[in-house]
Chains A and B, each alone.
Chain A
Amino acid sequence: MAELNLVQAINLALAQEMERDDRVMVLGEDVGLNGGVFRVTDGLQKRFGEDRVVDTPLAESGILGTSIGLAINGMRPVPEIQFEGFLGPAYDQIVHHAGRMRTRTRGAVTVPLTVRVPVGGGIHAPELHSDSPEAIYSHHVGLKVVMPSTPYDAKGLLLAAIRDPDPVMFFEPKRVYRSYKEQVPEDDYTVEIGKAKIVSEGDDVTVITWGATVFQALAALDELPEDVSVELIDMRTIYPMDEDTIVESVMKTGRCVIAHEAPRTAGMGAEIATILQEKCFLHLEAPVQRVTGFDTVMPYYKLENHYLPEAPRIKEAIEQVLAY
């Protein structure tokens, strides 16, 4: 077992799955010789050849549309889109074909593909390189939306995603890519899609988050008085959502803070808050509080930390719901 960062863990998962299943192929811009702009696919082309790790023309709809065809005809494509801001041109293919093909054909034609996309802010990237599109793709039907925050989960979730018979949007928080390391087993293991993780157990308040914000929440917890007991939940999968884990936790704590990077309006925080009021209304001791990005364009990087739900804002929200 080695200590790996998120990039290395995903690379390991791709390599092991390509080794195990010759239907798996990686395609996208710069994924081959260059190993991807974040080096996530580094070394894969050398190991598996140009037919299985393919540098495609620069065309996102082309990458996704051909991936759908590849998946229909027996392959297990894992396309990479370099940044979430470039998903736009591929949106039609993802939403109107990948997500609907099983329903459209009553299960006769399916699209088992995994779309890997670095997402989120915090790395001083240019415009359109820092957004969080998980709510958009969760709202569209037929897609699973996964966002791991740790290397261990990333490996296990990616293997689960590639083996999943349905299309999976696999969002990688680029802020975590090289900022955190942990022990990642060489073994073949999967982390179930649709299951949240309780990062720390607590009784006073539940904090629900995912992606890079998990680490901001952990930092916020460190700043709280020792007698405050927080249950921190990393959703890991955004859709389908693990309602049982969050409902059970909020029934126990009676208070909840949801933190995510995406804009507030119609974000996943709104969905989670609604689930909580539907399922544990009588257990709530305080209104559910959201700490999110704003309903604005993600600012260029001089102001990005003011936009992102950083630790101090999460801490303040926790204090507010506790004091209610």
Chain B
Amino acid sequence: MVKVTVDMDVCQNHGQCVFAAPDVFRLDEDGHLAYVASPDAALRDDVEDAADVCPLQAIRVEG
């Protein structure tokens, strides 16, 4: 398992992570971010890509 944390004080709902890892990140109707905190290890590369493309660098990946 991978551990994902998004600093929601920093996140500005750009949604770039949604394109990089749609199975982990999602924007609701109002454009606010929701995410899976412990995605499957198979999604590690996607999650790394998502962390890279976050303009605010708000995504942390561990494990």
A binds B: no
